[in-house]
Structure 1
């Protein structure tokens, strides 16, 4: 796992360590409010180059180039823990991880217009070009002659299938590239001797092609299986080209491919690389078609030796389509570059502004990437930077997502308060707790025996004592103490707002009906229908005070609430509203 990430002198971060314990091959959502430094974290990883960090001047802390940037990643592997770092002089991170950073491609552009005696400028938004393949390989074809290949085996050559069409398959080329190392080993003396011996046996056979294949299935199959390259190529041919073919057919074809490779390695490799590129280009075209962007002339094109995709003006393509399409294309690019190292994928400013449908789409592509990396027996750490709390947004739908709050807050839920909220639905106390603890009622109740039986704080069995506790926590919050209970503050605000509205109702019968109404919003609605002027702010603050009435097991519930409570505007709204 990644134990921690430390950053120095990058944008708004002077020196900060994020203790995370990030588990590999699971989507990790790193949550923090806007302005906290999520983009600084992304910028630090974006600055990594092969040999050093190269941070643009404007992204140095305080814009001061004398403040040297540094990035450190602490990793735990089994019982071993170690730290790899990168700075302006070196990059040890590159020896452990491949790093990819995906951000929004939307950029502001200023265009100057010379009007003779004066110059004007107009601003517009444009989407930066996405380079899919940096260098398009030369167009090279396999030099395969089935007649010449069969001639090596005499009359028995008829048993070998024609691979001309198969070798032109781009999907096969991807797999063959991974087998270059194995095919090199076919040059070994032992394997070459075995191939010569099998060739002599084949040359001595007679009969039809089917007869010879049947003989080879009994006499040569195990020997061919013992040659790793032949076996792996046979498996690849079966899965990518002809799943219905017999095993001996696949093995004899595997032998052909290995011999073709040894005959001219350079041409074979170049042909595979070009076909792999064709496959890559087709996959990008498929992605773009899936997002329905072809009518806007968004398509991969070869330009100056690279494969790129250009976008129309931002006003001519929807934000969701643009961001999700770019994201899918970049993840496909990353998927095809999986190496022998583990990977860190940092995703910044992509998830936060997508609609439900596009958010589901990009999550699909992350899931595919994780699956691909696992198949290669490697690990990937997808770090999704967001200001949204995923607990409250159903469209974050990963099956096993992990959530980390970057901004750790000193204020935290009191353990007794957590226990009370956790057991609020117990039948023995549910009605009393709802009416006299978590909502406003001028009367108090005394249920200490029930609290004791449930292991709750006995003193709070008197609802007046509990209300006194929440008021004391509110006073800490107002005085800007750093040890208040955010849940108690939320509870106090909700109860206080209900009291203010309750007291504004002049009729005693309607006051009672107000108290009998369930849920704060319904109480406010009831007051409005009875002629009470309820400020819209009291409704709006429901987003804040209702959040403190829910807890999750083994989760940092405090940080997301505190991030809202500490917002200066929210603080002002709360204090003003509670004052009545």
Structure 2
């Protein structure tokens, strides 16, 4: 678990600690308003090098290079808590974590034009190219010769399948490379003696290829299964085997591959490395094709020894297509680079501006990365920086996402108000609370007995007392106090807006019908249809005042509401609307 992240002297952050308790292999959404410092957090992680925190000059806090940057992770593991620190001189984080930061690749570019006596400049947006593979390995193939291999086993060699095409299958390269360690063990005396004896038995056989396979299945199959490398190779090669091949075919093929490896280990590994690269290139091409970018000629190209994706000018590719394509490709890079260390993945300025379809696509790739990490018995910590509150945006659809609000607010929901909102649907109070508490009603109601029976604040059973409380919290809010109840403020605003609109309706019958209309928006629509001039601001503010009518168990509901209420423009809108 990552208990906390502390940052010093990076961009807009002077010294701040984020208490998080982030658990592995679950998407973690770190929510904060724009301007809070999310990108500063991402910058601190992206500045990590193998042996130090190397912050670019323009990213120092206040532009002052004398202020030493520092990143500290507090980790809880096996009941122990310890800190990992990265600064100008060292990086202890690198010993435990591989860190990857994904952000938008859109960059501003200025182009100068020499006009003789003067110079002009034009601005444009460009997309920095994406380096998929930094160094392309040397092209190599397996030095496999089926004729020579069969000759080693005399007449029985005809029973061995030709593996030339199988060994050139890019999808097997990683698996073959992963079995090199087991094949090294075949050089031990016991296994060498066992292989020598089995080879002699094979050389003594005669008959058709099927006859020899039938004999080998019972005479050699169990012995080959006991050799870990051959059993592992047989399992792997079965994935690329032609239909109709039996287990003894797979085991004899495993024997061929093992012998090929032991003849020239270096050449075998170089071939695996090259075919792994071919597989990697094909996977990147599949990703790009999946995002439909081929018509823009967006595709991986080999240039100066690297595999890169150059992009067309920003105006020629959609923002969603660009960001989701880059995102998927970078996750694929991370997936291919899993090491013995855990993985921290910081995602900045990607999720907030995607449409629904692309958002589903990138969530798929995050889910896939987590799955791949688990398969390799690794932990990955995906941290998604966003200004959107996922509770109110259907786009965030991870099955088990965790949400952390970086900006903790002092104003908090009153426990009695939370209890009332939580129990508002209880049949004994539902109708009265909806009509007389959470919406405007010119007549008070007294349901103290019902409140007492439910364990609610008994005095609030008198709706007039409840509205006195919300007005008192509103007074604190407009006085810029830091201890108001944001939910009470939202309730006061909604009730006052409904009252103002109600009073603007001239006909008593229409007023009565207005009071019987459900939901504030429908009330506003009704009033507009009745001839009342409804300011568009009253509709816009629904995003604010309706948010304060819902609570979630074990969740910081106050912080996202307060972040909106503390916005200077929204504060002004609220005050002006209540004034009428």
Please, what TM-score do these two structures have when normalized by structure 1? Answer: 0.98
Give the equivalent residue in structure 2 for 1:534. 534
CA contact (8 A) 1:343 1:381 kept: yes
Give the equivalent residue in structure 1 for 2:275. 275
CA contact (8 A) 1:238 1:244 kept: no
CA contact (8 A) 1:31 1:389 kept: yes
SS at match of 1:467: helix
CA contact (8 A) 1:498 1:520 kept: yes
Give the equivalent residue in structure 1 for 2:429. 429
Give the equivalent residue in structure 2 for 1:349. 349
CA contact (8 A) 1:172 1:241 kept: no
- How many angstroms does 1:190 deviate by? 2.4
- Alpha-carbon distance in 2 for matches of 1:94, 1:486: 42
- How many angstroms does 1:410 deviate by? 1.3
- How many angstroms does 1:389 deviate by? 0.7
CA contact (8 A) 2:166 2:240 kept: no
- How many angstroms does 1:332 deviate by? 1.1
- Alpha-carbon distance in 2 for matches of 1:11, 1:560: 24
Give the equivalent residue in structure 1 for 2:226. 226
CA contact (8 A) 1:175 1:236 kept: yes
1:577 maps to 2:574 = no
SS at match of 2:408: coil
- Greater mean alpha carbon deviation, residues 242-251 or residues 431-440: 242-251
Change in CA separation of 1:243 and 1:276 when aligned onto 2, cut-off 3 Å? farther
Give the equivalent residue in structure 2 for 1:3. 3
- How many angstroms does 1:403 deviate by? 1.0
- How many angstroms does 1:201 deviate by? 2.3
Give the equivalent residue in structure 1 for 2:255. 255
- How many angstroms does 1:391 deviate by? 1.0
- Alpha-carbon distance in 1 for matches of 2:244, 2:572: 71
1:212 maps to 2:212 = yes
Change in CA separation of 1:242 and 1:7 when aligned onto 2, cut-off 3 Å? farther
SS at match of 1:75: strand
CA contact (8 A) 1:231 1:251 kept: yes
Give the equivalent residue in structure 2 for 1:319. 319
1:289 maps to 2:289 = yes
1:545 maps to 2:545 = yes
1:424-573 matches, within 5 Å, as: 424-573=424-573
Give the equivalent residue in structure 1 for 2:238. 238
Give the equivalent residue in structure 1 for 2:64. 64
Change in CA separation of 1:4 and 1:50 when aligned onto 2, cut-off 3 Å? same
Deviations 1:385-408 (A, max 9, x none): 110111111121111111111111
Consecutive unaligned residues of structure 2, counting only runs of 5 or more, are: none
- How many angstroms does 1:200 deviate by? 2.0
Give the equivalent residue in structure 1 for 2:19. 19
CA contact (8 A) 1:176 1:272 kept: yes
- Greater mean alpha carbon deviation, residues 161-170 or residues 496-505: 496-505
SS at match of 1:40: helix
Deviations 1:77-96 (A, max 9, x none): 22222221211111111111
- Alpha-carbon distance in 2 for matches of 1:572, 1:191: 82
SS at match of 2:481: coil
Change in CA separation of 1:465 and 1:243 when aligned onto 2, cut-off 3 Å? farther
- Greater mean alpha carbon deviation, residues 286-295 or residues 346-355: 286-295
- Alpha-carbon distance in 1 for matches of 2:237, 2:75: 39
- Alpha-carbon distance in 2 for matches of 1:410, 1:404: 16
Aligned length: 580
Deviations 1:250-279 (A, max 9, x none): 111111111111111111111111111111
SS at match of 2:411: coil
- How many angstroms does 1:349 deviate by? 0.5
- Alpha-carbon distance in 2 for matches of 1:466, 1:29: 35
1:92-241 matches, within 5 Å, as: 92-241=92-241
Deviations 1:293-329 (A, max 9, x none): 1111111111111000100000111111111111111
- Alpha-carbon distance in 2 for matches of 1:407, 1:315: 35
- Alpha-carbon distance in 2 for matches of 1:107, 1:309: 16
CA contact (8 A) 1:26 1:381 kept: yes
- Alpha-carbon distance in 1 for matches of 2:74, 2:47: 18
Deviations 1:33-71 (A, max 9, x none): 001111011101100111111110111111111111111
- Alpha-carbon distance in 1 for matches of 2:43, 2:242: 47
1:49 maps to 2:76 = no
- Alpha-carbon distance in 1 for matches of 2:502, 2:355: 39
- Indicate the RMSD between aligned Cα atoms, in angstroms: 1.3
- How many angstroms does 1:224 deviate by? 1.6
- Greater mean alpha carbon deviation, residues 359-368 or residues 108-117: 359-368
CA contact (8 A) 1:72 1:84 kept: yes
- Alpha-carbon distance in 2 for matches of 1:483, 1:278: 61
SS at match of 1:131: strand
CA contact (8 A) 1:234 1:250 kept: yes
CA contact (8 A) 2:170 2:275 kept: yes
Give the equivalent residue in structure 1 for 2:419. 419
- Alpha-carbon distance in 2 for matches of 1:441, 1:168: 78
CA contact (8 A) 2:10 2:69 kept: yes
SS at match of 2:21: strand
- How many angstroms does 1:211 deviate by? 2.0
Change in CA separation of 1:507 and 1:102 when aligned onto 2, cut-off 3 Å? same
Deviations 1:88-136 (A, max 9, x none): 1111111111111110000000000011111000000000010000001
- How many angstroms does 1:244 deviate by? 5.1
SS at match of 2:229: helix
1:362 maps to 2:341 = no
- Greater mean alpha carbon deviation, residues 172-181 or residues 87-96: 172-181
SS at match of 1:323: helix
SS at match of 1:481: coil
CA contact (8 A) 2:30 2:386 kept: yes
Give the equivalent residue in structure 2 for 1:391. 391
- Alpha-carbon distance in 2 for matches of 1:152, 1:515: 95
Please, what TM-score do these two structures have when normalized by structure 2? Answer: 0.98
- How many angstroms does 1:552 deviate by? 1.0
Give the equivalent residue in structure 2 for 1:306. 306
- How many angstroms does 1:375 deviate by? 0.9
